Amino acid sequence: MPKKILQRRLTATIDGQEHIIDEIELLTLGAPLVIVGDPGMGKTYLMDGLAKELGTKRISAGSFTRHAHPEKFLPPDGQPLIIDGLDELATSTGASAVDEVLKKLSALSLPPFILSCRAADWQGSADRQKIAEDYGVVPMTARLEPLSRQDAREILSEWPNIEAESVLDQMDARGLGEFYRNPLTLNLLAEIASDGKGLPQGRADLLAKASELLCREQNAIHARTTVGMANGFTLQDSAGAIFAHLLLAGMQGIADLPVSDVPEGYVAIGELADIPASPLMHESLKTRLFQVAGENLLIPYHRVIAEFLAARWLAKRLNAGLSSRRIEQALAFSGGVPTALRGLHAWFGHFAPRMTQRCIEIDPYGALRYGDPDQLSLPDARKLLHALIALANEDPYFRSEDWGKHSVAAIARPELKTEILDLLKNPGRHVHLSTLILESLPQTLLIAEISPDLQALVVDETAPFVERDNAAEALIAAKIPVNWSAIVKHLNASAQADSHRLALETMGNVGPDAFDPDDIVQALIANHNIFGDRSNRHHVHGTDYRLTRRLSAATAGFVLDKLADQITQHRPNRHWRMGHSAAGTTLAGIRHGGNSHIISHRLAARIQIVELRCNRDRISCSRVRLQRDWIKARVVSSRTR
């Protein structure tokens, strides 16, 4: 399997502003630090890299909290503990996983730490507050960003028998673009495509095909062994039985050792001898469904695969007569599902049709995030929508900080149009749910039917900005015919800052060349408050990022000339200086549009409208200076040619 190493990007909130950083910058953020990301996003790989950089070792949250002597994990020289997989920590009392980790950290006199967790299981402000109460400082949070299409193309290009661009286009056409933005599912997708298995139709199909490949003996010499000749489904079921017991017991893996020598967090293989419906248990341990974690120690290939196969095995045990009540008691208690079991619970609802609605009722967001909701029947999809509404009424912030976009087309069906419009038009609606619905629209048939309602939402100044922005993005992504020029003029005419911001973001997403340069200039002036009092102005950085980078040279020339004219006409006084953010945007526009077609005296004239006043953000200031110096060099170069 090819291994393409990419520098990962993360979003970190620093001084109230979100910044995109590279993984090499993580250690500059200090500790305590929490890293969140979706399943398969590469959290463990990243934590291993941080541990290696610090000269220490990664420790799982389960091992850390179970160990009687956690001081043995303390790194030398006061380096932070690297604790991985908070979401994998099962607690028998229903207590927060953060509470359990903090108890151990408190016993160690509160050493610095870096912690990882699945995004959907990080409780955001609640967990941050608990850490802050113990440590006296609010922990920094960094979110692993999905891979870009370019990242995915580079990874796929390493695989044989794959036409990378064709695979990506097909996944986008099927509404499965999220698969190539996740390192785990991308590599599974690549192995499936390289093997000629055909591209998957959904999340369940992807994991089923991947499990089949992971059971296959790749070495021709071993093809005639018991494992090589074994039935693939029986191997998967036997592995699923092991995975189910590991997950339910909160254990890491299997140890082929005497019981007295089994390390903390592992189960002796002999203790699993009586598991029913696992005739090839020992053989399954020799497949790629397991990976070596140490001498005579095995762990699952990945937790996502383990949850999938464990749930399928549990569903088969249900069909064989195991009590549904007994299974439910193992997976949920006190009306909820422990974070460590949400994936298993979601897939159990998928594989056990008679339990689907019950599983949705208990954990609707888990069913949506960890299962395959796009395969739900219409009655089950309606049940999921209503359960999410009930969840939002009970807990309006149920998404916590899980703001990544996810495909949930199952609940955005034409048959559910009435319920969805009622939700979007309800004045008391909850943003965590409404945005979830809006994000799911682009790949559905429903969006064409409710296009007028979405356009009305875009210009509705009583609606939250995130809803208006998501509505615009959905219409753009679905290529629905919309008079965007008229909408932008309407937004520009508003006195509301959010409308000005939305105008810029919309023009950047549609493509700035489709708009009148006067409208672009008006939006820039309003958003950056170029001529007004900036002291009390809340400015969102990066609003015009896409716009400045998608400007053609011709449009950039018109925009910059018109901006210069506006500044000449409306400059309040001779002491006036352009603000820092506006200066940066202007220079970015000059750089991205200022190619050889724009003659030097026009470039020089535009530089004159930019006068910097550096603020406390020295990094941003230095970047703007670099842009300015680059442009000046272009001017000098063009004059000497």
Same domain, 122 and 235: no
Residues of the domain holding 337: 216-370
> Is 453 inside any structural domain?
yes
Query: Has residue 350 got a pLDDT over 70?
Result: yes
Same domain, 520 and 590: yes
Same domain, 363 and 414: no
Same domain, 365 and 220: yes
Q: What is the pLDDT of residue 588?
A: 57
Last residue of a domain, one of 450, 482, 514: 482
* Between residues 564 and 99, the one the model is more confident about: 99
* Between residues 554 and 533, the one the model is more confident about: 554
Q: From the centroid of its chain, how far is CA 94?
A: 26
Q: What is the pLDDT of residue 80?
A: 93
Query: What does the alpha-carbon distance between residue 171 and residue 200 come to, in Å, rounded to a whole number?
Result: 9
Same domain, 477 and 593: no
Residues 155-179 have pLDDT tens digits of: 998 888 888 998 888 888 776 787 8
- Note the helical H segments in 426-570: 431-439, 446-449, 451-458, 465-477, 484-492, 497-510, 517-528, 545-550, 553-570
Query: Has residue 118 got a pLDDT over 80?
Result: yes
Q: Is 296 exposed, middle or buried (0-12, 13-18, 19+ CB in 10 A)?
A: middle
Last residue of a domain, one of 342, 370, 398: 370
Contact 384, 357 (CB under 8 A): no
Q: Which residue spans within 80-127 are E strands per DSSP?
A: 81-84, 113-118
> Is 192 inside any structural domain?
no
* Between residues 559 and 317, the one the model is more confident about: 317
Q: What is the pLDDT of residue 291?
A: 86
Query: Has residue 533 got a pLDDT over 80?
Result: no
Same domain, 443 and 513: no
Among residues 406, 460, 459, 458, the alpha carbon closest in space to that of 432 is found at 406
Residues 203-234 have pLDDT tens digits of: 899 899 989 988 876 554 444 455 555 677 89
Tokens of 464: 């939250």
Q: What spatial distance separates the first Cα and last Cα of the chain, rounded to whole Å? A: 51
Q: How confident is the model at residue 584 (pLDDT cuts 50, 70, 90)?
A: low
Query: Has residue 473 got a pLDDT over 50?
Result: yes
Query: What does the alpha-carbon distance between residue 262 and residue 255 come to, in Å, rounded to a whole number?
Result: 6
Among residues 340, 310, 308, 339, the alpha carbon closest in space to that of 327 is found at 310
Query: Has residue 105 got a pLDDT over 90?
Result: yes
Same domain, 112 and 228: no
Query: What does the alpha-carbon distance between residue 542 and residue 585 come to, in Å, rounded to a whole number?
Result: 9
Q: What is the pLDDT of residue 222?
A: 44
> Is 206 inside any structural domain?
no
Q: How confident is the model at residue 266 (pLDDT cuts 50, 70, 90)?
A: very high
Q: What is the pLDDT of residue 548?
A: 78
Contact 310, 243 (CB under 8 A): yes
Q: How confident is the model at residue 615 (pLDDT cuts 50, 70, 90)?
A: very low
Q: What is the pLDDT of residue 430?
A: 86
Same domain, 260 and 310: yes
Count the residues in the chain.
641
Per the structure, the count of domains in the chain is 4
Query: Has residue 638 got a pLDDT over 50?
Result: no
Same domain, 505 and 470: no
Same domain, 139 and 106: yes
Q: What is the mean pLDDT of residues 100-104?
A: 93
Q: What are phi and psi of 394, to 5 degrees?
A: -80, -40
Q: What is the pLDDT of residue 403?
A: 63
Q: What is the mean pLDDT of residues 21-46?
A: 89
Residues 474-485 have pLDDT tens digits of: 999 999 999 999
Q: Compute CA distances 132 → 82, 118, 581, whole Å.
A: 18, 20, 32
Q: Compute CA distances 326 → 329, 345, 355, 602, whole Å.
A: 5, 13, 13, 76
Q: What is the pLDDT of residue 96?
A: 80
* Between residues 381 and 580, the one the model is more confident about: 381
* Between residues 107 and 627, the one the model is more confident about: 107
What is the pTM assigned to this prediction? 0.74
Q: What is the pLDDT of residue 634?
A: 44
Query: Has residue 40 got a pLDDT over 80?
Result: yes
Q: What is the pLDDT of residue 267?
A: 93
> Is 587 inside any structural domain?
yes
Q: How confident is the model at residue 542 (pLDDT cuts 50, 70, 90)?
A: low
Instruction: Looking at mean pLDDT, say which of 30-44, 54-68, 239-253 comes out highest.
Output: 239-253
Query: Has residue 596 got a pLDDT over 50?
Result: no
How is residue 128 annotated by DSSP?
H
The share of the chain scoring above pLDDT 70, in percent, equals 81
Last residue of a domain, one of 370, 398, 432: 370
Q: How confident is the model at residue 411 (pLDDT cuts 50, 70, 90)?
A: confident
Q: What is the pLDDT of residue 215?
A: 87
> Is 456 inside any structural domain?
yes
Q: What is the pLDDT of residue 524?
A: 83
Residue with tokens 């609707």: 364
Same domain, 279 and 336: yes
Least confident among 55-64, 93-102, 138-147, 496-505: 93-102
Mean pLDDT of all residues belonging to the chain:
82
- Report the 3 state secondary structure along 379-398: HHHHHHHHHHHHHHHHCCCC
Same domain, 135 and 80: yes
> Is 332 inside any structural domain?
yes
Residues 234-245 have pLDDT tens digits of: 999 999 999 999
Residue with tokens 């000046």: 632
Query: What does the alpha-carbon distance between residue 247 and residue 489 come to, in Å, rounded to a whole number?
Result: 55
Q: How confident is the model at residue 574 (pLDDT cuts 50, 70, 90)?
A: low
Q: What is the pLDDT of residue 364?
A: 94
Query: Has residue 314 got a pLDDT over 90?
Result: yes
Angle among Cα 540, 545, 548 to the nearest 5 degrees reads: 130
Q: How confident is the model at residue 527 (pLDDT cuts 50, 70, 90)?
A: confident
What is the torsional sign of CA 78, 80, 83, 86? positive
Q: Look at strands 140-144 and 33-37 and give their pairing.
A: parallel
Q: How confident is the model at residue 456 (pLDDT cuts 50, 70, 90)?
A: very high
Q: What is the mean pLDDT of residues 18-41?
A: 87
Contact 208, 63 (CB under 8 A): no
Hey, how many other C-beta atoms are within 10 angstroms of the C-beta on 262?
19
The CATH number for 45's domain is 3.40.50
> Is 195 inside any structural domain?
no
Q: What is the mean pLDDT of residues 311-335?
A: 93
> Is 173 inside any structural domain?
no
